[in-house]
Amino acid sequence: MPAKIRLQRHGKKGQPFYHIVIADGRSPRDGKFIEKIGTYNPLTEPAQINLKFDRALYWYSVGAVPTDTVRSLLSKRGVMLKYHLLQGVKKGALTEEQAEVKFQTWLKEKEAKLAEVAKTKEEKARGEKKTRLEAEKKVNEDRAAELAKKRLAELEAKKAEEAAAAAAAEAPAEEAAEAPVAEAPAENTEA
């Protein structure tokens, strides 16, 4: 069987991390391999792909068959385009300079697209953060207003209680001053 370019899984359960390897088609997924040409981390945003471009191009050009996932990774990094352009050079449709210019313009466009996507994501995140902060400020202001109302009501209730207590304290004193002194009961002198 021909050599395969495939992913070799590493990482913990639920946190995959892959090595991109060249392996014999008969060897198991995480078994023996011929050469490691890169890594792939799907958990980051955007997915992180580190690839030895020249080695990947070499192995693809000598007949190593990539799996579907690896084919898409190679395509994202431009290995497939570079191989296609080199085939055009071999057939005489392009010169090496033309092929290199096309590849470099593709790379620049790809980087510009990625930068634009990153910029829009960053702006979106900023906008979301700003709206969250505004909502949080509004909630805090509402809470502060509610607490102020509650404190004002408590102060008014306290003043009313104090006024009632003061009125109650003045009322018994006035009653005591106005009330006649009761005579002491006579003692029984019957002996």
- How far is the CA of 44 from the CAs of 7, 16, 72, 129, in angstroms? 17, 11, 17, 20
**DSSP state for residue 40 in the 8-state scheme:** E
Residue type, 176: A
Scan for tokens 């495939």, then name that residue. 6
**Residue ranges per domain, the chain?**
3-94, 96-171
Check whether domain 3-94 has CATH 3.30.60.50, yes or no: no
At 93 the pLDDT is 87
CB 31 within 8 A of CB 91: no
From the list 56, 57, 59, 60, the residue with the least C-alpha distance to 39 is 56
18-33: pLDDT as tens digits: 999 999 988 888 888 9
Task: Please tell me whether the overall predicted TM-score, pTM, comes out greater than 0.75 for this model.
Answer: no
Amino acid at the residue 129: K
Render each residue's pLDDT in the chain as its tens digit; 191 residues.
689 999 999 999 999 999 999 999 888 888 889 999 999 999 988 889 999 999 999 999 999 999 999 999 999 999 999 999 999 999 988 889 999 999 999 999 999 998 998 899 999 999 999 999 999 999 999 999 999 999 988 888 888 888 888 888 777 666 655 655 555 555 666 55
The reported pLDDT for the residue numbered 163 is: 84
Q: What's the pLDDT tens digit per position in 43-55?
A: 988 889 999 999 9
Question: pLDDT at position 2, please?
Answer: 83
State the Cα angle at 95 between 93 and 100, rounded to 5°: 115
